[in-house]
Amino acid sequence: MVNSVDLLKKLVYICLSPGIARSGATYIMTITVLPIFDTDFRPEAGLAKIMNDRLSRAAAELRDRHLKDLEQVGRRDDDLVVYLSYNSKFTVRWRVVNDVPPEVEAHVAEVCGALGYIAWKIAGLNVFKGNGM
């Protein structure tokens, strides 16, 4: 299993994005794609290393190649944060985790769908269903 120091180093490396830069009057949107290594299942150590490496490469490629055109969209304080992980069938899943314009989320959905990634659906957080009492 990956220790926390190695995991932190990988996350810092993956998270390094162009940041907010100024080029004339144009601002660059910050795009961050984070691989989430903690899953609902525990693969064997060798398989876990391969899966984590693959997920790290997928996150870097998504950020640096496929979502690069989004840098020119938005204002200086805009950013995009996408989580990548595996589901129980070893398929890469994605989720936009911050508030972005619908067009940006639609573009991410289109790109991720073309790559064969599935939308990461989670139940609402802190939602409690009453039992009629």
The string of pLDDT tens digits covering residues 113-131 is 999 999 998 765 443 334 4
Q: Give the domain extent around 99.
A: 4-119
- Asked, for residue 131, whether it belongs to a domain, the answer is no
Alpha carbons 52 and 49: distance in angstroms, whole number: 5
pLDDT tens, residue by residue, 3-50: 433 433 443 343 443 443 444 445 678 899 999 987 666 777 788 888
Query: What is the number of structural domains in the chain?
Result: 1
- Domain membership flag for residue 129: no
Pairwise CA distance, residues 92 & 51, whole Å: 10
- Residue 124 covered by a domain: no
Question: Is position 104 within any domain?
Answer: yes
This model's pTM is above 0.75: no
